[in-house]
Structures are given as C-alpha cells and as structure tokens.
Amino acid sequence: MTAPAPTVLARNLTMTFGRTRALDDVSFELVPGVTGLLGPNGAGKTTLLRVLATVSAPDTGSVVSLGLDPRRTDMRLDLRGRLGYMPQEPGFHARFTAFEFVDYVAILKELHQRRARHEEVRRVLDLVGLGAVRRKKIKTLSGGMRRRVALAQALLGDPDLLILDEPTAGLDPEQRLRFRELVGRLGEGRTVLLSTHQTEDVFALCQQVMVLHLGKLRFAGTPLELAGLAQGHVWHSHERDPGALGAWRTGTGQHRNIGNPPAGADLLEPTLEDGYLLLLGGDRVEEVSA
Amino acid sequence: MTTTVDRPPAAGASRTLPAGARSRRSTLALTAVESGRLLRHPAVLAATAVSVWLLWRWGKGTAPVLHYADIATQFALAALAGAALLATNLAVLRSHRDGAVDLYGATPLSLARRTLSHLLSVLPLVALGGILVVADLAWLAGMPGSVGTPHLAEAATGPALIALGGCVGVLLGRLARSVALAPLVLVALVLGSLTVAELQAAGHDQRPWTWLGTLLRAPPFDPPPAALLGRPATWHLVYLLGIGVALATLALWRSLAQERARRRAQVAAAIVLVAALAATAAAAVVQTRPTSSTLADRRLAVVTNPAAELVCQRRGPANYCVFAGFEPQIDLWEPTVRAVVAAVPPAAAARALPVTVAHRVGLHRLIDEEVNLGVQEGQGPSGPIVAPVGTAWGRDGPLFELAHARLAASVAARLVAPTRGDGEEPRWFPCNAQAVVALWLGGQASPQAAEGISQAVTDPYSEIFVFSHDPVLDDPPWDVRAGRFALALLDRPRDQVTQTLWRNWDLVTAPETTIERLGEVLGIQPSSDTSNLGPGC
C-alpha cells in the first residue's frame, strides 16, 4: 500500500519575536488522519498552528497546504476557505447566541447563501451536541459548551484541513472523551492537526505525533515510536532512584523512574508520556517530578 | 453528541461561484448582519428617540418655514450621527475586544471586505435618518401657515452626517484598538461643531471659513425668504460627502495594507482617496466664497426699501404685506389683528384703519457691517408706517408669545395714536396713558399675546412697540410703570375695563394724559416707581 500523499508540506519554517525564536527551522509533512502536536508551554505550538492557519506568515521558509501556497493572496484566501481553525482562545462574542456566533463565522467563511448557511450552522452545532442550546447566549454556556462552539465553527464548510489548538483544555474527563470520539471520526478522510498537552489524547486519537520544544521539531513519527524512545529507560523502585532523570510516586506506592536504569532494575513498558518526557530531557522531567 | 459526520451536500455549494462573486455576496451578507446589530444598538436606539423628540419638539405648535425647518433637521439628526460613530467603532473593534482576531484572520473574507461591510452597514441608519427628515418636513408642510420649500441639500445634510459619523467610527477602529478613542473624538467633534455653529450664526458673511464645520446654524429666529439666505447648501453637502468618502477610503486602504493585499487594490484605493480629497477641497473653496454683490444688494433693499420686496393684500381692517410665498401666514395673524380692532371703539377704529401689517426680518446679521452703519446713520426705511411682524410664528414658547405680543401691541399703538398727516410718524413715545391702553389692547388679542406682554414688562428694552422695518434702528425703550399698570388692567374683568376705556376714549388716548390721570379714571393706583422710565418718558 502506498503512503498517502502529504496534505501539508512545511519547509524550514522560522519565526522570531524579538530575541525569542518561536520556530527554528521546522520542517515536516502532514498526511490525512489525525496528527498530534505535543510540546510544553512556549514550545512554539500556537505559533506553528497560526502559520498553518495563515493567520501569520513565517519569517523564512515555506508551507504548502492542500497544494496551495499562502504567500500568494489568491491561494491564501482559497486555502482559508478549505481549512478550519480552532484557536486556543477563540474569542467569543459573549452577547451573541451560539447560532449567531457560528453563523457570523460562516459568513466570514464565505457561506453567503442564507438558507444553506443556516442549515450548515445547525448541522455543525448538532454535530458537537449543541443543537438544543443554539439560541442561548454564549455567556450563559459552560466552559465545555464554549469549547464545542469553537469546534463547531471550525467544522463549517466541511474543511479538508482542521487545525485545533488545545481543543480539550479545561474539559472534564467525560467531555474529553466525547471530544476524542468526535475528533476521531473527523479524522477519517481529513487532515487534522491537534495541539495538546495531554499525551492521553495523542495516544487515543493520533496516527502521527510531532514534538516541538523551544521552537525546534524534536520528533515526528507514530505514538508507538515515541513511546519506544523510552524502551529500557523506565523502571520502578520502592524509593526514588537518585540516578533517574525524573521520578514520581504512583498510586501503588512504588516510584516510577525515567532515565538510565541501574543494573537489575525492574523495567516497565514505556508509555507515550515516558517517551515524551525522556525526549524533552532533564529540565522537563524535573518539572514533572517536583 | 450525534454520531454522523457525513460530508454535507450544501457545504460546497458556495464554492461553485467564482472567488470574486463569492466575496461580494459574502460582503453583502455580512453587511446585513452588521446593519441589524447596528440598528438594535442601545446608543442608536437612544439617539433615534432623541432625534424624534427634537424634531417633534421643534415643530410642535409652530407655523413652519420649511427652508428653515430643513436646517433644523440637521441638528436633530446629529444625535444619530454620534451614535453611528460610537456603534460602528465598537463593531469594528469587536474582534479585538473579544480576542477573535486570530479566528477572523483564518477566514477567507478579507479584512478589507470586512471593513467595507462595516462602512455599508451604516446605510440603513442613513435611510432611517432620511425617513425621519421626510416625515418631519411632510408633517410640518401640513401645518396651518406652513410656508416655503425645503432645500434638498439641506434636508440631505442630516443623513449625510450620519454616514460621516459611521465613516469616522470605522476609520478610528482600523487605526487604533482602543475603545476610548471614539468617545473622545466624538466629544471633540461636538464641541468643535457647536463652537463653529455659534460663530457661523453670528454672521457667516463675516466668517466664511465657518462653512468648513459640520453643523451650520441659520441666523436665529425670523427666517428671511429662501433667496436671501445665501447658504451654499449643495456645496456643503458635497464637502461633507467628500470627507466621508475620503475617511472610508482611508479605512479600506489601511485594511488592504494590513493584510498584505495586492498592490493593484491599494493603488485603486489611493486613486479614490485623491479624488475624494480633490472634491472636498473644491467644495471647501466654493462654499467659503464671499457673498455675491447681487445678494448683498438685495438684502440691503429688503431693509431700506422693504415695500419693493413685499406683496400686499387687504383683508378686513388691515393691509397685509408679506414676502412672496409667505401668504399663508396672513391667516395666522388675522385673528390677532381682528381681536385688537374689536377691543377699540368702532368710531375710533374707523379713523385709524386700515392698519398695515408688514413682514420684518432680522437681516442685520447677514449684512456687511459697513452697510449696517450706513442704515443707522439715517438712510432709514421708506414707505408707509407699518406694524411689523416677523416670519417666525407659533403657539407655544416664550419667543412666539413675544411675537404675538409685538404684533398685537404694534397694531394697538396705531389704533391708539394714528398717523397724523401724510406719512408723518406718530408723535408719541410709549409712555403715559397711551402706552397703557395700547398694551391692554394688545393683551386682548390672545392668551399668547397677554403672556408675551407679561414677559416684556420685565424687560423695558424688549421692543414691544415697534415702528421700524429695520431692527438695527433702535426702537425707544418704554415705561415699565406703564407695563405694570397694563398687567394690572389685564387682571381686571375685561367688560368692566372696556366700558370705562370706551367711555373716556379721547381722554385716555390723548398724548398728554398721564398714567396717574388714567389711574383716576379707572380707579387704579399706578406704581410710584419712577426708575427705568426710558429716555422718552
């Protein structure tokens, strides 16, 4: 079976804000399916997503999405018509109802025919489970419902490329489960790039994962491959191992350690989180253990 | 949540249109949404109520002069213009205030088209302003005594101000992200406009640069005939529209630059901007030209030889001489004149009639100061002595009551002391018993006239007895004691006073009869306060 053609081709993306290099020579390809983007705060995830969503342009480098180069005005506008973007902070107009807000974004997405547009708005709101509250003002909705409104507007027009920035932030476990179900189905036949802090979301949803750290792309591969980086580097002990890069007490009372295990250590099967933490190195691991 | 994520059939329908057509239709769709929100904005709703109230308040109980009423609509709609400025600014800044800039930035409808939508969203509000103006002028035109014809450009200036307010609001939103800027700019514009309007009303011929303002008052109260106004209304409208187009284009240009739009679009915007500025500059120059010599001569003629400008008709006890087109006002004056005549003994009235009632307007603010001085130095009016009346008339309000009182008292003065000899001015000053009787007669005309006399008594320089067409010439101040005595008489039963006055008519109207002697006849003790007698008493 031949590999699917890449939907997004990013080459040597660099973006600097003052002295901070938010993106440092980042290159990658996205294929149809769900790709997770992991990284700590300040890694450059949002900057990268904004570039892919054509909200901002990189200082250097290029990105071609769906065969369109956003450096050309006509292609940029065409691309925007085929992508859906859910920002980390969507910026709701609190006095709008859910319907009015999504309808407004629908117009901005050039769904100009009123009847068809309203049908589409109802469809996406039903899709995220908000059909019953579409006439309610956004300021009266819960945090989880607002996230779903944000997702609904990203789904308008059935985009070919879906960019979701921390879509599960602030959701409780049940809401996150629902979100995963929906995003998982959306990934069929589309390209979805999902940025998150939650490694469980990546493990549950993503066929591919990228890790961004200090503006650099540190990993691109499958979740299993990322977890495999920690193969042989995870063990448990009764006490915290002083030689471990990081360790924490689990619910069983044992300590889970990451790093270079001593001889005879009781090795554990690594998880995605283990691979992620090991990849980021000592600083990040110490942060987790504190 | 539902389980279906089938690709919807309608989602791609819009994409079958070419990109340009899609964007245009989307711009109109967004305009419709923004228009709806603008019309429902609390500031707009409040301003609409204020504008409606002002139009009703200013028109109620008046005998409208439509070429003045159209100017007044501009001030009434100024509230809507301010609301348009604030509401459009808030709409433009909505994405910044709510943190939706990134979300909007990822959509295909460009920033320039969104700016265009905000600019176009003001049009329904402009139409609302136009409807208010048309409704107001139609209402006024149907009132008794309505005269004149509205000027299209004057009537359109109010709605143009609304459009201008919207353009300012959108531009401010594209230049700065602060919501505090628009209110500050609005306050500055209001203060500036009112200052310029006051300077302009003081005599725009002396200050032609005041036409560069937005709100331009007409000289207060008595409206002259439209031909004598000399307002460059059409060019002023072009001036305002030119500023609006320039500001709108600047907002679009700013948007195009921010989104790295094609150079061709930016060049087109620059061309439109230059054209708008050129039109604005041309209109600014034309509207600040000095008054033509023809118009200046005609204004002077109205003051120095008003008879040549007036058309007269005899009705009952009076000749009414009015500016052409103002004939319907005669119907409003007639009851006052007849009521005064009815209060005079028939024999005495027969000696004095007919009284000539003639229009007088305050053109001195529109006339060059040198000419004013020349008139004061004795050029004076020519023609028969008349009872002057202004062109502003109505039922309610202190100014209208004073107008009623002036007409009634001026007619009464001629009945009390008719002209002696051909063209000879009545030789009396408004003192002594004649003044009291004339004031009492005037108070019989109507409740408004009586109220106006009561007002005037508190101000001996308020010009109750008027002999001249030209308000520049000083009419003599009159005796406050006479006024107070007249008020005391007006409080007495009318029949009782009438009988006594008619019985002693020759005595009470003789020039040498004092107020004290009149008091003896009527059985009333006059005030002993001899201050404020005036130079003639």
CB contact under 8 A, B100 and A93: yes
**Secondary structure (H, E, C), A132-159:** HHCCCEHHHCCHHHHHHHHHHHHCCCCC
List phi, psi (to 5°) of B425. Answer: -70, 145
The pLDDT of residue A212 is above 90: yes
The amino acid occupying position B24 is: R
Helices B447-457 and B480-491, packing angle to 10 deg: 140
| Residues of the domain holding B210 | 19-290
Same domain, A256 and A112: no
| Cβ neighbours, 10 Å, residue B503 | 11
CB contact under 8 A, B14 and A103: no
**Using an 8 Å Cβ cutoff, are B452 and B406 in contact?**
yes
Same domain, B216 and B321: no
Query: What's the pLDDT score for residue B464?
Result: 61
Residue finishing a domain among B257, B290, B323: B290
Same domain, A55 and A190: yes
B104 lies within 8 A of chain A by CB:
yes
| Residues of the domain holding A44 | 1-82+160-221
| Cβ neighbours, 10 Å, residue A32 | 18
Same domain, A55 and A183: yes
Q: Which of A109, A128, A188 sits opposite B108 (nearest CB)?
A: A109
Residue finishing a domain among A221, A239, A271: A221
Same domain, A51 and A177: yes
How many CB pairs (< 8 A) connect A and B?
128
Residue finishing a domain among A110, A143, A158: A158
Same domain, B351 and B438: yes
Domains held by chain A: number: 3
Beta bridge pairs of residue B358? B321, B388
Residue of A nearest to B260 (CA): A73
- Find chain B residues with C-beta within 8 A of A182's C-beta: 1, 5
Same domain, B67 and B192: yes
**Using an 8 Å Cβ cutoff, are B106 and A54 in contact?**
yes
Query: What's the pLDDT score for residue B25?
Result: 94
Same domain, B458 and B335: yes
CA distance A149 to chain B (A): 13
Residue finishing a domain among B236, B255, B290: B290
**Using an 8 Å Cβ cutoff, are B407 and B441 in contact?**
no
CB contact under 8 A, A113 and B14: yes
Average pLDDT, chain A: 89
Query: What's the pLDDT score for residue A4?
Result: 72
Ranges of H-type helices in B288-426: 293-304, 330-342, 346-352, 369-374, 398-416
Same domain, A251 and A108: no
Same domain, A69 and A104: no
- Find chain A residues with C-beta within 8 A of B120's C-beta: none
CA distance B1 to chain A (A): 4
Q: What is the pLDDT of residues A61-82, one digit of tens each?
A: 999 999 999 999 889 999 999 9
Residue in this structure with the two tokens 């299993």, named with its chain if needed: A224
Largest CA-CA distance found in chain A, in angstroms, rounded: 70
Query: What's the pLDDT score for residue B295?
Result: 87
3-class SS of residue A90: coil
B99 lies within 8 A of chain A by CB:
yes
- The region, left, alpha or beta by phi > 0 then psi within -120 to 50, assigned to residue A61 is left
Instruction: List b or e across A38-65, with b for residues whose CB sees 16 or more CB atoms inside 10 angstroms.
Output: bbbeebbbbbbbbbbbbbeebeebebbb
Q: Tell me how many degrees the CA angle B378-B382-B384 measures, rounded to the nearest 5.
A: 135
Beta bridge pairs of residue A16? A21
CA distances for A242 relative to A234, A257, A277, B375, angstroms = 14, 9, 17, 110
Same domain, A174 and A32: yes
Domains held by chain B: number: 2
B19 lies within 8 A of chain A by CB:
yes
CB contact under 8 A, B102 and A119: no
Q: If you ran DSSP here, which 8-state letter would residue A203 be given?
A: H
CATH code, domain carrying A5: 3.40.50.300
The H or E element spanning position A267 is: strand A266-267
Report strand pairing: A234-237 vs A266-267: antiparallel
Same domain, B242 and B227: yes
CA distance A87 to chain B (A): 6
Instruction: List b or e across B199-210, with b for residues whose CB sees 16 or more CB atoms inside 10 angstroms.
Output: bbbebbbeeeeb
Same domain, A62 and A169: yes
Same domain, B284 and B331: no
Residue of B nearest to A178 (CA): B1
Beta bridge pairs of residue A37? A195, A210
Residue in this structure with the two tokens 């009492």, named with its chain if needed: B440
Handedness of CA B109, B111, B117, B120 (dihedral sign): negative
Residue of B nearest to A115 (CA): B10
Q: Which of A55, A77, A89 sits opposite B19 (nearest CB)?
A: A77
Query: What's the pLDDT score for residue B394?
Result: 78
Q: Say which range, A29-43, A195-209, B456-470, B472-486, has the weakest mean pLDDT.
A: B456-470
Residue of A nearest to B114 (CA): A108
Among the listed residues B120, B100, B96, B102, the one whose alpha carbon sits nearest the alpha carbon of residue B170: B120
Same domain, A258 and A151: no
Distance in angstroms between the alpha carbons of the first and the last residue of chain A: 46
Cα B452 versus chain centre, distance: 21
pLDDT tier for residue A111 given thresholds of 50, 70 and 90: very high
Same domain, B33 and B166: yes
The amino acid occupying position B66 is: L
Residue finishing a domain among A158, A178, A207: A158
List phi, psi (to 5°) of A91. Answer: 75, 70
Same domain, B55 and B190: yes
Write out the E strands in A132-233.
161-165, 191-196, 208-213, 216-221
Same domain, B224 and B278: yes
Q: Is B7 within the bounds of a domain? A: no
B280 lies within 8 A of chain A by CB:
no
Same domain, B343 and B246: no
Query: What's the pLDDT score for residue B388?
Result: 74
Sequence-ordered list of residues with C-beta below 8 angstroms from that of B27, at least 6 positions apart, any chain: B109, B113, B116, B117, B120
Among the listed residues B179, B158, B159, the one whose alpha carbon sits nearest the alpha carbon of residue B169: B179
ipTM confidence: 0.88
CB contact under 8 A, A185 and B100: no
**Using an 8 Å Cβ cutoff, are B192 and B215 in contact?**
no
CB contact under 8 A, B29 and A94: no
A15/A58 Cα distance (integer angstroms): 5
Give the residue ranges of chain B where pLDDT is below 70.
Answer: 1-16, 200-207, 218-221, 362-386, 418-431, 459-479, 529-537
**Using an 8 Å Cβ cutoff, are A37 and A191 in contact?**
no
List phi, psi (to 5°) of A103. Answer: -65, -40
List phi, psi (to 5°) of B527. Answer: -65, 145
Residue finishing a domain among B237, B261, B290: B290
Q: Is B270 within the bounds of a domain? A: yes
**Using an 8 Å Cβ cutoff, are B443 and B449 in contact?**
yes
Among the listed residues A94, A161, A127, A117, the one whose alpha carbon sits nearest the alpha carbon of residue B100: A94
Would you call the peptide bond into B354 cis, given omega within 30 degrees of 0 as the criterion? yes
B531 lies within 8 A of chain A by CB:
no
Residue of B nearest to A75 (CA): B108
Residue of B nearest to A189 (CA): B7
Interface subset of B 401-460, CB within 8 angstroms of A = none
- Find chain A residues with C-beta within 8 A of B30's C-beta: 104, 107-108
